[in-house]
Amino acid sequence: VEGAIGIRVHDSPAEVAHAAAEVFADCARAAVKARGVFRVALSGGRTPKALYHILASPAYRDLPWSEMDFFWGDERCVPATHNESNFRSADANLLKRVPVIRDRIYAVPGCGDAQAIATTYEKTLRRVFAGDSFPRFDLNILGLGQDGHTASLFPHGKSIAEKERWVVASYAPEGVVRSRITLTVPAINSARRIVFLITGGNKSERLRELLEEDFPPEKMPARAIAPVEGECTILCDKAAAARLSST
């Protein structure tokens, strides 16, 4: 995994968010220039909020917002208005503040059985990414959970082993909303660009393990992430990098 992952250590979470905004902007401009569309899978959790606020600022108003398709790498099985909804977080902090085309926001359906939601979302992805063996996102933004999960691929969960499906149901071992859906490992690894946003001292041991321990994906799902044809970069702050031997 280490060979496939680059790492950039920044002084603060704010600088990580600014660096992530620049990656987002570069990927968006390149994708629209090359293919007329930028397809991005957004992450949930707290870390991306600082990125969303920066992208919503005037500095990024000239991005090709109307040429972008928005997806989620994982979602909690709750209505879009629910406080725990990853859609709601991205919509409130970014999408409502920039000139996107609302029909090009592919939110995960919010209600019902997780398996049914996963099947429905996979159908949507297969329609948009028609012809791809796995969805070729231009950018997939990921976080790292304190237990080593990423998206909603949790340690010792069945979802990690899934090699055919693009989207599956999963079950969070803790948290307010346990019932989730998630992109599978191959559906994440098909991206052109993957960026992990990792900040805070509470992630330092996990980040050390991600880069310096040979844990199997069952124990640390984030170790399964390595783009097949693409680039993966960790954007982290000094606090998260504190235990790394190589920086």
- Footprint of ligand 6PG (CB under 6 A): 43-47, 74, 86, 143-145, 149-152
Apex 207 CA angle, 197 and 42, nearest 5: 25
Smallest distance from the beta carbon of 71 to ligand 6PG, in angstroms?
Answer: 12
Q: Which is nearer to ligand 6PG, 150 or 159 (CB)?
A: 150
Q: Which is nearer to ligand 6PG, 56 or 222 (CB)?
A: 222
3-state secondary structure of 9: strand
Q: Which is nearer to ligand 6PG, 67 or 234 (CB)?
A: 234
Number of H helices and number of E strands within the chain? Answer: 7, 9
Q: Which residues contact 126 (CB under 8 A, 6 or more apart)?
A: 166
Residue 151: burial class (beta carbons within 10 Å; 0-12, 13-18, 19+): buried
Residue nearest to ligand 6PG (CB): 143
Q: Which is nearer to ligand 6PG, 43 or 179 (CB)?
A: 43
**Distances in Å between the alpha carbon of 137 and those of 14, 31, 39?**
25, 10, 5
Smallest distance from the beta carbon of 200 to ligand 6PG, in angstroms?
Answer: 7
Smallest distance from the beta carbon of 61 to ligand 6PG, in angstroms?
Answer: 26
Smallest distance from the beta carbon of 140 to ligand 6PG, in angstroms?
Answer: 11
Six token digits for residue 163: 């090699």
